[in-house]
Amino acid sequence: MNIAANYPHLALVAAADWSCNPKKRWLALATRQEDGKWQAAAPVQVTEPRSLLADLASLTPQPGAWLLGFDFPIGIPARYAERAGVCSFLEWLLHLGQGVWSDFFQPARHPGEVSLRRPFYPARHGASQRSHLTSGLGLAWEDLYRQCDLGKGKRPTAAALFWTLGARQVGKAAMHGWQHVIQPGLRCQAPAVTLWPFSGALHNLLQPATGVIAEIYPAEYYRMLGVAAGKRKIERRRLNAARLFSYAQKLELALDASLGDQIERGFPDHQGGDDAFDAIIGLFGMLAALRQEPALPEPEDKLIREIEGWILGQEI
């Protein structure tokens, strides 16, 4: 099944490997050509987060729609939402950083600062314990996971949103992305920018001259694509070249010369290294998910659609 059969207005797909560190924010994108086929470009560094959505809109062949995937959580755990009195993630998101939620984007510096309105912890390394976070929120550790975070089969459980320590932590990237990309986009470009699955079903959201933001999980796509782990070293990334070229053919995806060169060379560190590599994995995974037959299943659970969100391409 080709993408046009499922999403006829979709003209640009982008995957972002995000970080609060500006040197580690990379974007990979593919555009639909006049003949209906798709072409992917080499990853680029995102230097102006607040203009990212407008930049994507300008790059999208008109009157097409664009879809952007971020590799950080978009949504909150249901038990936290219940405790905090959140009934709609989409509406709540627009209030963060203001009024009673003014400290939300400031990680707690010590256990006494952890609260439902300041849930990220800790601000820095030190004698921090998970119990500090759970006690401050009045929740058990297992309550800090969304349904889509939980492990299944060979997929391990993802990192908890509000815990900001460790190599796998996602909280700092989520805070940055929510505050500097998604919030401004929803405020300034609504209704042209929407958030899946909170705003509706993907095929309904992808209308002419619109953009949709979704959550992606490259680690999930590694298994889908059959890509070997060990992305930190260029030698390991280079070993995946044949697999990526093969999967591009399966996707009927043309690669520009620069991207082909980067794949062959294992994504050199001066060209983004493992961050650029992950952006491409995210892009390939998104394109594979969008080609599914039948089309991607939509979450039916009200908690998922209104509070927790879901990962694009993950089995429901």
- Tokens describing residue 151: 């492990």
Average pLDDT over all residues of the chain: 94
| 216 HSE (CA, 13 A, CB side) | 31
Distance, CA of 259 to CA of 254 (rounded, Å): 10
pLDDT greater than 80 at residue 1: no
3-class state of residue 118 by DSSP: strand
pLDDT greater than 90 at residue 107: yes
Summarize the chain as % helix, strand, coil (round to 5).
45, 15, 45
Distance, CA of 112 to CA of 278 (rounded, Å): 37
Location of structure tokens 């607040």: 50
Complete DSSP assignment for 275-305? HHHHHHHHHHHHHHHHT-SSPPPPP--HHII
In the chain the domains, ranked by start, together with CATH numbers, are 3-73+175-308 (3.30.420)
pLDDT in tens, 108-135: 999 999 999 999 999 988 878 999 999 9
Q: Pinpoint the alpha helices (H) of 138-178.
A: 171-177
Q: What is the mean pLDDT of residues 191-196?
A: 92
Looking at this protein, which amino acid is placed at residue 68? L
Distance, CA of 209 to CA of 60 (rounded, Å): 9
Q: Residues 266, 252: contact at Cβ < 8 Å?
A: no
What residues contact 188, with CB distance under 8 A and at least 6 apart? none
Q: What is the mean pLDDT of residues 169-194?
A: 92
Q: What is the mean pLDDT of residues 169-177?
A: 95
pLDDT in tens, 43-99: 999 999 999 999 999 999 999 999 999 999 999 999 999 999 999 999 999 999 999
Kindly list the distances between the CA atom of residue 232 and the CA atoms of 163, 237, 266, 267, 269, in Å, as whole numbers in the listed order: 23, 8, 11, 11, 10
3-class state of residue 238 by DSSP: helix
pLDDT of residue 122: 95
